[in-house]
Amino acid sequence: MKKITKVKDTKHMAELLGLDETFAVEAQLKTKMKIKIKELVEAKGLTHQEVADLTGVGRTVITGIVNFSIQRVTMDRLIRVLVGLGVEPEIRFKESA
């Protein structure tokens, strides 16, 4: 049976995975954006093609984002999709632990 480790923060996650902390922060931010996009698409009852038409991002990319199957989607595409869905992303900053 695999041991489950609770992750405290992004720095801890990076250490556990042997990754640079910057990569872990970016991965966490992208995941949050993908979750929000999925919630918006479902709440608005939109098809992936409708989202593509609204955002200018290809339907296959939208499908990948909503299904969490695209690993290397860029931040600018995620922002474009969020804005196209009527959301203005807001970034907050906090001191690292």
**This prediction's pTM:** 0.81
- Return the CATH number at 77: 1.10.260
Q: Are 36 and 88 in contact (CB under 8 A)?
A: no
Q: Is residue 97 part of a domain?
A: no
The range of the structural domain enclosing residue 19 comes to 10-84
Q: Is residue 67 part of a domain?
A: yes
> What CA–CA distances, in Å, run from 62 to 42, 72, 82?
13, 13, 11
Q: Are 85 and 55 in contact (CB under 8 A)?
A: yes
Number of alpha carbons in the 13 Å side-chain half-sphere of residue 22: 0
Q: Is residue 19 part of a domain?
A: yes
Domain total of the chain: 1
- Among 21, 30, 29, CA closest to 64: 30
Mean pLDDT across 51-77: 92
- Residues 24-48: pLDDT tens digits? 888 889 989 999 999 999 999 999 9
Q: Is residue 29 part of a domain?
A: yes
Q: Is residue 94 part of a domain?
A: no
What pLDDT band is residue 97 in, cutting at 50, 70 and 90? low
